[in-house]
Amino acid sequence: MAFDPLLRRSPKSSRSKSSQSKFWRSKLSVAVGAIALLSAAVALVAPSSVSRADQFNAYRVFTDSGPVSQEDKDRRRASRDALRDRFISQYRMDVPFVSEAAVAGLQQAIMQYERIVASGGWQRVPGNTTLRPGDASSEIAIIRKHLIIEGDLPPGSRMGSRFDDEFRDGLARFQIRNGLRVSGFVDRRTLKALNVTAPERLRQLKTNVPRIKKHMRINRASRYVLVNVPAYTAQAVEKSRLVFDSPVIVGKPSRASPQLTARIIEVNFFPTWSVPDSIARKDLIPAIQKNPSYFDEQQFHVMRSWGSAPIDPATVDWTSPKAVSYKFRQAPGPQNALGLVRINMPNKHSVYMHDTPLKRLFNQSLRAFSSGCVRVEKIYELSAWLLGPQGWSQAKVEAQIASGKRKNVKLRHSVPVHFVYITAFANSSGVAQFRPDIYGRDATQGGLDDRRDALVVSESRAVTP
């Protein structure tokens, strides 16, 4: 008979082991119960769409004090918007980017920055720490002095190392002047802009004076549209006066919006989009390979050549090298990459201005997302202004959109359009404003530096012109 150590234990030893086993089973039962209660509590407060894998991060967003709900995020966004709206009107570009008034404002700013450079400029902010209201640090004292030097805080402002309301307001002014999101705290982008030296800012101002003067002849036209690409802004100018402006989205650095001069000849309501071969090759075909339903969802048609009848996409081998030889056209409608309005402006670059279904991207401070074309937020206003001499109002434009019918309206008199690249400018009061050198055309700055959230990354990767 084989040796069994259990048979050799005394009754006392067996009773001891049995007691220990009951003790640990009791402890395990308590622990399991606690976990179950915690899971139930999370399930009660978490959004219904949260999966079991996300139970302990129900909102997928955290701060030092725990998860942030959508309501918290909305409240913070509203607070940032209110802060921005308090100051934004002071910094609006109230003259055309290309004008005598713009040159005069820029020269006034140059004199200010020459004095700043002669006085030693400002100190660099060390480290990369995020600074928020209520914080106290030596970095805040350094930034406060910088804000006073550039005029974002008044000369009599108290010096100190605490992030108080006065410091927050000065920071908001700085962020607006530099084309940054008004965040209400010192974030990574703001710190990078603060650490651009005074001599570099002076060079940036001086670099843009000849750029403006080079384009001055455009003011010979009684009416024109101007897009300042790095400022993400379009202007409608009439008799050398700024009529209105609009935020725009421009080409990403790898597909830069070109500097050009063209003429707007037509406004297209409910346009189709004939996909350029380069976009089909780089974007559309890879999107179809990843998600075959994308083709139908976005209402594309595939043809063997322009002018031929559409074919069944199911008959196409999308993994074949021959797939790039097909032509693609997107049907009109709200899903169309051009949106509901296209501004027809023939040019050798095959770019144009248009609406977009991805309107949330206009909320971003850095808006280099397109493949070279310019998306206009106030496209209805622009269309009404272009067609105004022909009796169109904005109400008529909106009625045409509401009809859902395609319509191409030719302009009786074409209107010039210019895409320019001006990274430093000043309004009529001479307050200097700077924008990131997104295409690396200024000697003093790097290119686009932008970490985006998931929504921005998703929408910026959509197949668009």
DSSP 3-state percent helix, strand, coil across the chain (nearest 5): 45, 20, 40
CA dihedral 111, 113, 118, 119 (to 10 degrees): 120
Q: What is the pLDDT of residue 28?
A: 52
Report d(CA 296, CA 282) in Å as an integer: 19
Q: What is the pLDDT of residue 415?
A: 98
- Taking a C-beta distance cutoff of 8 angstroms, is the pair 280, 421 a contact? no
Q: What is the pLDDT of residue 335?
A: 93
Report the amino acid identity of residue 372.
Answer: G
SS3 114: helix
φ and ψ at 301, to 5 degrees?
A: -120, 145
Q: What is the pLDDT of residue 175?
A: 97
DSSP 186: B
Q: What is the DSSP string of 153-180?
A: S-TTPPP-SB--HHHHHHHHHHHHHTT-
Report d(CA 84, CA 398) in Å as an integer: 29
Token pair for 282: 């780089």
Domain ranges of the chain: 87-200, 217-460
Radius of gyration of the chain (CA): 30
Report d(CA 122, CA 144) in Å as an integer: 10
- Inter-CA distances, 86 with 74, 163, 166, 322, 339, Å: 18, 19, 13, 56, 32
Token pair for 158: 């108290």
β strands within 32-137, DSSP E: 62-63, 66-67
Report d(CA 149, CA 118) in Å as an integer: 12
- Taking a C-beta distance cutoff of 8 angstroms, is the pair 178, 193 a contact? yes
User: Residue holding tokens 């770019």?
Assistant: 351
Token pair for 308: 């031929």
- Quickly count: other Cβ atoms within 10 Å of residue 215's Cβ: 19
Closest CA to 368 of 246, 251, 248: 251
Question: Tens of pLDDT along the chain (465 residues)?
Answer: 343 333 334 444 444 444 555 555 554 555 545 545 444 444 444 444 433 333 333 333 434 445 678 888 888 888 888 999 999 999 999 999 999 999 999 999 999 999 999 999 999 999 888 999 999 999 999 999 999 999 999 998 888 999 999 999 999 999 999 999 999 899 999 999 999 999 999 999 999 999 999 999 999 999 999 999 999 999 999 999 999 999 999 999 999 999 999 999 999 999 999 999 989 999 999 999 998 888 889 999 999 999 999 999 989 999 999 999 999 999 999 999 999 999 999 999 999 999 999 999 999 999 999 999 999 999 999 999 999 999 999 999 999 999 999 999 999 999 999 999 999 999 988 999 999 999 999 964 444 444 443 344 445 456 667
Q: Span 217-460: which CATH code? A: 2.40.440.10
- Inter-CA distances, 449 with 273, 365, 436, Å: 31, 12, 8
Report d(CA 231, CA 420) in Å as an integer: 10
What CATH fold (topology level) applies to the domain 87-200?
Muramoyl-pentapeptide Carboxypeptidase; domain 1 (1.10.101)
CA angle 373, 375, 376 (to 5 degrees): 140
Report d(CA 459, CA 254) in Å as an integer: 17
- Quickly count: other Cβ atoms within 10 Å of residue 258's Cβ: 14
φ and ψ at 400, to 5 degrees?
A: -65, -40
